[in-house]
Amino acid sequence: MDKKTVTTISYLSRLKIDDEKEEKIIEDLDNIIKFVDQLNIIDTSDVAPLTNPLEKTAKTRKDIVTAKNLKKDLLEVAPSSNDDYFLVPRVVE
């Protein structure tokens, strides 16, 4: 774990890390990874990958529309909106 990796991860997660905390975070992440790394001691070559710890399968839905029109409520709780749309700072490709 180095400064560059932490910078990349924090950018990808849109998390701002204060400069003075950066070293501590690098150290913490390093320790976490070392801790989890212990799992590699065990040979899991004939164990199928686990997709969910519940080891159950999903209940599914029938294809039916159940949602109500929540437009007004949803737009109201957004940080910025007009009568029809959520508004965000302009993003253009």
Partner 1 sequence: MSWETVIGLEIHVQLSTKSKLFSGGSTEFGAEANTHVDLIDMGLPGVLPVANKEAFYKAIRFGLATGAKINQTSSFDRKNYFYPDLPKGYQITQMTKPIVEKGSIKIYLDGSEKVINITRAHLEEDAGKSIHDLFDGETGVDLNRAGTPLLEIVSEPEISNAKEAVAYFKAIRQLVTFLDICDGNMAEGSMRCDVNVSIKKNDSSELGTRAELKNINSFKFIEKAINFEIDRQTKLLENGESVVQETRLYDSEKNETRSMRSKEEANDYRYFPCPDLLPVVISDKELIEIKENLPELPEEKEKRYVEDIGLDKSEAVIISSSKAMANMFEEASAKTNDAKLVAKWLVGDVSALLNKDNIEIDESKLSAENFGKLIERITDNTISGKIAKSVLEDIWENGSDVDKVIETKGLVQIQDESILEDIAQKVIQSNPDQVSAYLNGKDKLFGFFVGQVMKETQGKANPKSVNDILRRLLK
Residues that bind partner 1 (CB under 8 A): 8, 11-12, 14, 49, 51-52, 54, 56-67, 69-71, 74-75, 80, 82, 84-93
Q: Measure the CA–CA gap between 70 and 45, rounded to whole angstroms.
A: 49
Query: Are 28 and 35 contacting, i.e. CB atoms less than 8 angstroms apart?
Result: no
- 40 vs 69 by CB, closer to partner 1: 69
Least Å distance, CB 4 to partner 1, is 13
Least Å distance, CB 20 to partner 1, is 25
